[in-house]
Structure 1
Amino acid sequence: MSSQRYVQVEIRGKRGDETIILAWLKLREGEVERVVKFFKSATVERVGDRVVVNTALNFDMPAVTFRSPQTYSLSLTSEVPQLGEKALYLEPVVVKIHQRPRITVPDLATDLPQLPGVAPKLAFVDVVFKEAQRLGPLALNDVVPEIKTAEPHLQPATVSWAEKPSFFLSPLSSDVPQISAPRVSTTGVPQASGGDYDIELFSFFEDLYARNPVLRLSSILADRPLVILAERESQDYIEFLKRVLREIYLVRAGSLPTNSKHISNSDDLEKIMPVDVSAGGRIFVFDLRGGRFRIELIRDGILDRLRELYSQRLGFFVFYGSGERLREVKNFWKKGMSDTPRPIEIALAREDIQILNVLADAMWGMSSLSGKPYGDLDERIVYLEDWFWKELERATGVFDILLRTKPSDDSGSESKMHYLVKAFVVSYLAGKISEELKQTEHDDKTAWERALSCVDTERGLGSIRVDVYVECEGPYRDLAVEVETLYGTGAVIHKLREVVESRYGRVNMLWIVIPNPQAVLYLPLLLKFRRWSIERYGRWAELFTLDLEGRGLIKLADLARRIHDRLIQDGSVMS
C-alpha cells in the first residue's frame, strides 16, 4: 500500500440558486490540483482539514441506485461544459452525447464519489452484474445518477435499459473508463443478400451438380484411389478435369498431389512400368487420344497396376479418350475383372460443356461471367488459371500491404493461396476504410495510412486467432475475416462450423472468405451451410469469395445468383 498522504475533497455545484455537494473524494495530496484544473471555472478553499472545490456546473440530479455496484468512473452532465482535452493518465477518449462534444475523464483514484440524493425524475432501474463483458447500451437523459461508494476490484457489469441507447461503456475499472461509440452502423458494409435464403437457389445447384458428371466428383469422400473413364465427345475437357481433381485432393489431403503424370504414348508408359505407375497420392492420366497409345501392348501391366490400388491412399487413375481405345479399357471390367475397383464413367454432352465454361469464369475470379472467348474449354481454363494468379499477385504486390500481412506461422507451412487471399482482404478493407476517411477531410496519404493501421492480421482474441481484424471506428469496426482454403479439412462443413461457433459472441461481424476454386467446386454444400448458419446465428456471419475483376469481395450467395441467371439466359439449363 502507498504511504502517501490523502485529503478529503468536497466538490460543490449549483442546482438553480442552491449550492449542492456533488461528491466527496479521497485523493492523494498531489492530485488535488489536477482535479481543480479539470473544472476550469472552479474556485478552491480550505476548510479545516478538507479542500472545497466550487464548480460552475449546474444541473438537476435524480437518484439512481446501483445494486451490488462495481468500481467504475462516470461523468455526465446535462449541460456539457467546455472541458480540457488533456487526460490525466490515459489518452483522451470521445463520448458521443447529443451535440457530440469532446470531453476527457479525470483519474479519480481508487475511491468513487458519493453524490447526495435529490428528488428523482426517473424511476429506479435494476442493474444486474454478470460475467465480465462490455456495458451497453446505457442511456441517461439529461441527469446524473446517484452513485454509492463501491468496494474495489469488482467484476465488470452488463446494464440493460429500456431507453434508446446513447453510448457504450467498455469494462469498468478503478481507472479512467474507456468510452466508445456504439457498434450499430453498417453503412458501406456488404450485407447478406436481400430477403430470406432462397431455398430454390440451393435446390437448383444441388440438382445441377448432381447431373453434371465432372461437378458430381466434388462429393467424393473416399480415402482411396479412384479410377475414372473420361470419354471425349464434342470438346476436350481433360485440363478442366485435372484441375477439379487437384482441388478435391487439396481439400481431402491438405497438399498437392505429388509426381503426377500425363502419359500419351504407350512406349513412355512401358519405360516407367511397373515402378512408377500408381494412383496413390497423385493424378495419373492415360491419354488415349491419337495413335501413340496402344492398349494391347501394355494391357497386362495396366491390369496389374489396377490390382495394386487396394493398398494405396487417395489418388486418381484417369483414362481419357474416345472411340475404340476407351472401349478397350472399359472391357477390362467386362472380362472377369471383378478384383479391381469399379471405375467412375464420365461423358459430357454439349450443354455440360457450356455449364463448365460459365463455372470456369467463377472458379477463377472472373465474377462478371463475361464468357469472353478463349478457344475451347481446356484452352479457357488454362488461360483463366494463369490470369487468376497474375491478378491476385498484382492486387497484393504493394509493399505496405505485404508488410501489414503477417504469415500464419514461422514454419512456412501457410499455402501461397491462403497468404495472397489474406493480403487481398487487407488491401480491400484498407481501401474501403480509406474512402470513408477521405469524406471527413483527410487527404489521400493520411487516409490510407490511418486505414492501413486499422487492419491487423493474425490477431489474437483470447484463445483464438483471426486472420484479419478491423479495430478502428466505422462500419467495419470489430470485423473478423477468416480465409478458409478448405485444404486438408476433409469434411468441409465441420471446419466452417468450428470457425463460426468459436467466433460467435467475440466479434461484431464475421466474414469467411473462400478462394474461388473451392467456393465454386463446393458451391451447393456451402450454400446449404450458409442457410444453416443464418437459421442459428442470423446474418452475423457471411460467406465471400474473390471478385478479381472488381478488385473486391463478392458474397457467395450473390455469385450463385449470377451463375443461375447466366445459365438460364444461355439456355444451358431450364428455369
Structure 2
Amino acid sequence: MNAERMVFEMIKSKKIVRRYRRKPVIRDRNVIVSVLIPVDVREVSREELKLEAKGVVFLDVPLIEPTFEKEIKKIEVVTKKEVTVPSIEYTLKLVSVVKYTSKAFQEVKIKDIVKEISQITTLTRELVNHILENIPTLEFSVAENVEMKALEKGIVSHVRPVSELLNYVSKLRITFHTPRTISAKELSREIIAKMSRVVFPSLTKGAYKIPEGLDPLYHTFSSPLSRILNMPLLILAEPPSNFVYEYMEFLKRVLREIYRVRLGGLPNPLEVSIGFDEIKFDIRASKAISIVRIDDIIDKTRRKEREGEELREEIFHTLSDRIKELYSQNLGFLVVYGREVEKLLKVELPKAPRLLRVKIVEDESIFKLCNLMWGLVHEYCKVPIERLKEKGLNLDAYVVELERRFYDELEKLLSDIRLVLSVEPSKRDEERIGGESLLHYATKVFIVKYLLDQEKIPPENIFTEYEIGDLVIDVFVNHPKHGELAIEVETLYGTGIPVLKLRRTIETRLTKGLKLWIVIPNPQLTIFLRDIMQLYELYKRKYPDRLNFFTLDVKSKKLVSLEDFVKCIRELKLS
C-alpha cells in the first residue's frame, strides 16, 4: 500500500513518466510497426520504483482498449402511455366583431330652423363690428362761395411704385372663395387699390403756352395736308420747273397714309393721262386717290383728234361736273396735276367743297426729308443727287425705291422664324381687317429684336400681348434700368384723330404705374409730327422720365427718339 501511495503521490507531483512496452504487430525489412502498451502501475516492481525514485521516472498511461458490442438484431420501442402534460392557465379576452344591421327607412321630418345662429367671433369680425359701431357722424355747414378756376385734366401728378399699391385699400371687403390657383393677371382685377390722382394738363388761357410743333409737309407742299378731315378734297398740283423734283409719286403715298389714318383701309387708285373720254365718268374723290394729269390729256388728245380751245373747254367742263359731285362723297382725293390748273381755278374754285393748292419746294432738303420718312434716320443726309441726274431719275423714283427698302427690311425680320414665333399677334381690329396690320406686327418684331440685340434684355423678361387688368400691352419688358416698361406700337391707322388715340394710350398705361414708350412708324410720324410734338410737350411736363416717343431706323435696326428725329427735321430748315 505504501508503494502504491508513493506512486500516486509521484504522479500527482508530475515526477513520474509512464512507461510502455512495445508489442510488434507488423514487421518489414526496414520498418517495424509496434504498439506501445502501457504497463499497469501495479505491475511496476519495487526495484523499478526505487531506481526511478532516484532519477526521472517514466510513467506509462494505459490506453483505453475499444470494446465492440454485439450486433443488435431487434429493436423494441417502449412507449410510456401515462404522460402528464403540465397545465397552464391563460385568461383569454375575446372581442366580438361589430356587425352592421340595417334598419328600416324612417321618415324624416323638417322642423323649424333656428333663426338666431351664434356666429364665430374672429379678429376680422371684431374689427368690422368696431368700425360699424364707430361710424363718424356727418355735419353740414353753409357752403362758401366757389370760384371757377382752370381745371386741369388728365396727367398723373405722382404715381406710386407697383409694390406700394397693395398697401392702400380703399374699402374693406371680406369675401370667401373656394381655394384655387390664382394667376397674376387675375390678381390685378380683384384687388382694389388706391391709385394716384390724375391731373390732366390745362388747356385754358391761364395755362402754359402750347409750343408750336413742326409740320414738314406744310413747308414741303406749301399746304396743310395733315389737317384734312373726313371730307372729299380737290387738290390742284402745279408741276415743278426742274424734272428732278417731280413729286406726284411722293404726294400719292402721303395721301394714302393720310387716308389710312383718317378712315382706315386702302383707297382705290385711279390715274388718268390718256383715254380721258373712256373713264371721264369714273373720276371721283370718294374713298379714292384719283390723279388727272391734265397737261398729258390735252397734249395727247390734241395730236389725235382736234385742237384749240374747244378741246380744253370740253375737258374743263367734264372736270367741272366731277367737282360738283364732291359735296356728297366720303373722304378721298381728286388731284388735278398740270400747268393748265390756273385756268381751272378761275372757273371752278367757288364750286369745290374744299380745295388745296400744292407746289413742292425745289430744294435738296426734300430728298433728306424722304430719307427720314422711310427709315434712314442716321444717314438722312446722304442724298445721291448727282447719281440720280446721271441716270435720268427724279424724286418720284427715289421715293419709290425708299419705300421698297423700308418694307424689305421689315420683311427680313419676319423671315426669322424663331423671332416671329416669340411675338404674339394682336387680336385688335386695326383697319377692319380682323386683326393687326402687317406694319404693326413687323414693328413689334423690330422692337423685340432691338431689345434683345441692343438693350441686351434676356428673352424671359420680354412679353408680347401682355395683359395687365383690362389692358393688353404690345410689348412688356422687365427692364434693368427702366423697371416695368410698356412699349406700344401706334400706326395710327383707322384712328380718325390720332392725338385722341395717343392720349388714351398714355393715360391708361401711366395710371398703372408703368413707364411708357410709344413707337410710331416713320411715315405716320413725319406726316403728323406737328400734332404729336404738341401732345408730347404737354405730357412731358408731368411725366419727364416716364414717357417717350420713338420711331425706326431700319438700316441700323435701332429705335430713334422723338427728340433726335425732330433735331434732324430742324436741321433741314424747311421753313
What TM-score does the superposition give when structure 2 sets the normalisation length?
A: 0.57
Instruction: Tell me the residue number matched to 1:218.
Output: 226
**Separation of aligned partners in 1, 2:326 and 2:233:** 8
Opposite residue 331 of structure 1, the aligned amino acid is K
The answer to whether the Cα contact below 8 Å between 2:292 and 2:336 also exists between their aligned partners in 1 is: yes
Q: What residue is the counterpart of 2:400 in the other structure?
A: 382
Partner of 2:271: 262
| C-alpha distance in structure 2 between counterparts of 1:218 and 1:407, whole Å | 30
Which residue does the alignment assign to 1:525?
531
Residue number in structure 1 paired with 2:163: 134
On the 8 A contact 1:395/1:551 being kept in 2, the answer is no
Q: What do residues 332-367 of structure 1 show as CA deviations (whole Å, max 9, x unaligned)?
A: 32xxx633335211123424xx34222111110000
> For structure 2, which runs of at least 5 residues remain unmatched after alignment?
1-125, 128-159, 176-183, 188-207, 303-311
Shift of 1:534: 0.7
* Aligned counterpart, 1:359: 369
> Structure 2: which amino acid aligns with 1:428?
Y
Matches within 5 A, 1:223-234: 223-233=230-240, 234=242
Query: d(CA) in 2 for partners of 1:474 and 1:132?
Result: 15
CA shift in 2, pair 1:152/1:309, >3 Å: closer
Query: Would you say the 8 A contact 2:235–2:356 is kept in 1?
Result: yes
Q: Give the structure 2 partner of residue 490 of structure 1.
A: 496
1:236–1:376 CA contact under 8 A, matched in 2: yes
1:479 & 1:153 partners in 2: Cα distance? Answer: 33
CA distance in 2, matches of 1:232, 1:215: 15
1:239 lines up with 2:254 in the alignment: no
Residue 340 of structure 1 corresponds to which residue in structure 2?
Answer: 352
1:528 is displaced (CA, Å) by: 1.2
CA change 1:559–1:216 in 2 (3 A) is: same
**C-alpha RMSD of the superposition:** 3.4
Letter in 2 for 1:453: E
Structure 2 Cα separation of the partners of residues 415 and 432 of structure 1: 25
How far apart are the structure 1 equivalents of 2:161 and 2:558?
37
One-letter code of the match for 1:292?
K
The alpha-carbon deviation at position 287 of structure 1 amounts to: 1.3
Aligned counterpart, 1:421: 443
Q: SS state of the match for residue 543, structure 2? A: helix
Alignment-mate amino acid for residue 230 of structure 1: A
What's the offset of the Cα at 1:493? 1.1
SS at 1:401 equivalent: helix
Q: Which has the larger radius of gyration?
A: 2
Q: For 1:473-511, what per-residue CA distance to the aligned partner results, in whole angstroms no more than 9, with x for missing partners?
A: 622542111000111112111111100100113253110
1:327 aligns with 2:336: no
* Counterpart amino acid of residue 401 in structure 1: L
Asked if 1:392 corresponds to 2:421, the answer is no
Deviation at 1:465, TM superposition (A): 0.6
**3-state SS of 2:436 partner:** coil
2:329 aligns with 312
Preserved contact between residue 223 and residue 358 of structure 2 (Cα < 8 Å): no
Partner of 2:294: 288
Q: In the alignment, what sits opposite 1:73?
A: none
Q: How does 1:2-13 map to 2 (within 5 A)?
A: none
Cα 1:201/1:357, change in 2 over 3 Å: farther
- The answer (yes or no) to whether the contact 1:365–1:549 under 8 Å persists in 2 is yes
Q: 1:133 deviation in Å?
A: 5.5
Q: How far is the alpha carbon of 1:255 from its aligned partner?
A: 1.4
Q: Distance in 2 between matches of 1:561 and 1:136?
A: 39
Contact in 2 for aligned 1:213/1:346 (Cα 8 Å): yes
Between 1 and 2, higher relative CO (CA 8 Å, sep ≥ 6) is seen in 2
- The amino acid across from 2:400 in the alignment is V
| Residue in 1 that maps onto 2:465 | 458
Q: Which of 416-425 and 373-382 deviates more? A: 373-382
Would the aligned equivalents of 2:223 and 2:356 in 1 still touch at CA under 8 Å? no
> Aligned letter for 1:381?
V
CA distance in 1, matches of 2:287, 2:301: 24
Q: Is the 8 A contact 1:479 1:507 kept in 2?
A: no
Please give the alpha-carbon distance, in whole angstroms, between the structure 1 residues aligned to 2:161 and 2:173.
15
Distance in 1 between residues matched to 2:264 and 2:173, nearest whole Å: 52
Aligned to 1:432: 454
Aligned match of 2:149: none
What are the Cα deviations for residues 360-389 of structure 1, in whole angstroms up to 9, with x where unaligned? 111100002133314421111111000100
Q: Distance in 2 between matches of 1:476 and 1:133?
A: 13
Matched to 1:459, the amino acid is: Y
Structure 1 contact 480–507 (Cα < 8 Å) conserved: no
Report if aligned partners of 1:357, 1:371 keep a CA contact under 8 Å in 2. Answer: no
TM-score between the two structures when normalised by the length of structure 1: 0.57
* 1:285–1:320 CA contact under 8 A, matched in 2: yes
Describe the superposition over 1:157-193 as per-residue Cα deviations: whole angstroms up to 9, x where unpaired: xxxxxxxxxxxxx99x9xxxxxxxxxxxxxxxxxxxx
Cα distance in 2, alignment partners of residues 419 and 347 from structure 1: 35
Q: 1:293 and 1:281, CA in 2 relative to 1: closer, same or farther beyond 3 A? A: farther
Amino-acid identity (%): 33
Query: Which runs of no fewer than 5 residues in structure 1 stay unpaired?
Result: 1-67, 70-130, 139-150, 155-169, 174-198, 437-450
Does the 8 A contact of 1:281 with 1:313 survive in 2?
Answer: yes
Name the CA shift for 1:524/1:358 in 2 (closer, same or farther; >3 Å). same
Which whole-Å deviations, capped at 9, do the CAs of 1:203-241 have from their partners, x for residues lacking one?
A: 4725x65544356211222x2111011001233111111
Post-superposition offset of 1:272: 2.2
C-alpha contact 2:238 2:337 (8 A) present in aligned 1? yes
Q: Cα gap change, 1:229/1:240 in structure 2, threshold over 3 Å: closer, same or farther?
A: same
The answer on whether the counterparts of 2:218 and 2:225 sit within 8 Å (CA) in structure 1 is: no
Task: Flag the 1:134–1:153 CA change in 2: closer, same or farther, 3 A.
Answer: farther
Tell whether 2:381 aligns with 1:370.
Answer: yes
Provide closer, same or farther for how the CA distance between residues 515 and 214 of structure 1 changes in structure 2, counting only shifts above 3 A.
farther
Tell me if structure 2 keeps the 8 A contact 1:214–1:241: no
- Structure 2 CA distance for partners of 1:394 and 1:202, relative to 1, 3 Å: farther
| Structure 1 position 292, deviation (Å) | 2.1
Alpha-carbon distance in 1 for matches of 2:164, 2:396: 58
How far does residue 552 in structure 1 lie from its aligned partner after superposition?
1.1
Q: Name the SS for the 2:544 alignment partner.
A: helix
Q: State the secondary structure of the residue aligned to 1:545.
A: strand
Confirm or deny: 8 A CA contact 1:527 1:557 kept in the other structure. Answer: no
Count of matched residue pairs: 360
Paired letter, 2:280: M
